[in-house]
Amino acid sequence: MGTLKRIIAGGAALLCLGGCASLVINSVIEPAVENLQKQTDLDLVCEGAPAYLLMIDSMLADNPESRRLLLTAAQSYASYTTAMAACGRKDRAVAISEKARNYSLRLLADCLGFSEKKGYTAEELRTALTSCSSHDVPALFWGGYGWALWLQYQEGSPAALAALAKVEQIMLKVVELDEGYYHGAAHLFLGSYYGARSQLLGGKPLESLHHFHRALLLTDRQFLPAQVAFAETYARTTFDRVLFEKLLQEVLVFPLESRPDLALANQIAKKKAAQLRGDIDLYF
């Protein structure tokens, strides 16, 4: 935590001195993002990250045209939403997810050339996506991911389901342009999206299986959220208890120290895996 405090304190000092945004991003914000990903103490992250998020909010308010800052804000709030849920603070996760959504939609509007207030139809989205290049992948992924995080708390409303179909199109574009971006997480979203419902209810188990296999292959099975999502969606939906147990056991025995750069995501995955395994008799 000492390192994180020093980074935040340094950032505050730079802001007080009026340092340029690019300098602060390079020397403070991006190192802080990297440092947070290496933390394994979930409670520490949940308690310590708000100061960092407030710093980003302040910087973005002063530099509203900075897509780089907007991208960092969308990524940070999405990551914090996930951490809060893992810390058992669902009410706060719901509230933080609203900020993640707001930043994510701003990011998408900027990237795709839409009016943020107007919104857009599915057809307008498909047309806009055709002009995207690999340069747009980070904005597309984090824009779509932050939006999807908020949607998962909307209790499956018809509007939320329609919006998820738009996120699906965004993630398919990410896969087309750079399937390995952020540990193949676009494949992970699509695998979950297609695998969370049975085929009778519109699910696509074969496509789900394909995307999960790609996600695992692209990361050499070291990004543990892939195994957890594979178990929680596809394996549960297809009533494959053997696969369910195998995937969760793989997560639980994985040594965190072997991938310190993925420590936070993998620690969250381990906690979720333990919960799922403890409830196995409820699912099968």
Does the residue 250 lie in any domain?
A: yes
- Single-letter code of the amino acid located at 42: L
Does the residue 206 lie in any domain?
A: yes
Q: 37-59 as b/e, with b when 16 or more CB fall inside 10 Å?
A: bebeebeebbebbeebbebbbeb
Does the residue 265 lie in any domain?
A: yes
Does the residue 229 lie in any domain?
A: yes
Residue, of 11 and 194, whose pLDDT is higher: 194
Residue 32 confidence (pLDDT):
63
Q: What is the mean pLDDT of the chain?
A: 86
Q: Residue 254 belongs to what domain range?
A: 179-284
pTM given for the model: 0.86
Which tens digit of pLDDT belongs to each residue from 49-100? 888 888 889 889 988 888 889 999 999 999 999 989 998 999 999 999 999 9
- Check if the beta carbon of residue 141 is closer than 8 Å to that of residue 182: yes
Total structural domains within the chain = 1
The Cβ-side half-sphere exposure at 133, using a 13 Å CA radius, reads 1
Does the residue 68 lie in any domain?
A: no
Angle at CA 175, nearest 5°, toward 36 and 184?
A: 35
Which tens digit of pLDDT belongs to each residue from 158-203? 888 889 999 999 999 999 999 999 999 999 999 999 999 989 888 9
* Phi, psi torsion values for 66, nearest 5 degrees: -80, 105
Pick the closest to residue 167 from 188, 143, 201 (CA basis). 143
* Phi, psi torsion values for 21, nearest 5 degrees: -60, -40
- Check if the beta carbon of residue 179 is closer than 8 Å to that of residue 197: no
Q: What is the CATH number of the domain that holds 197?
A: 1.25.40.920
Residue 281 confidence (pLDDT):
94
Region 143-161 average pLDDT: 88
CA dihedral 108, 182, 175, 118 (to 10 degrees): -10
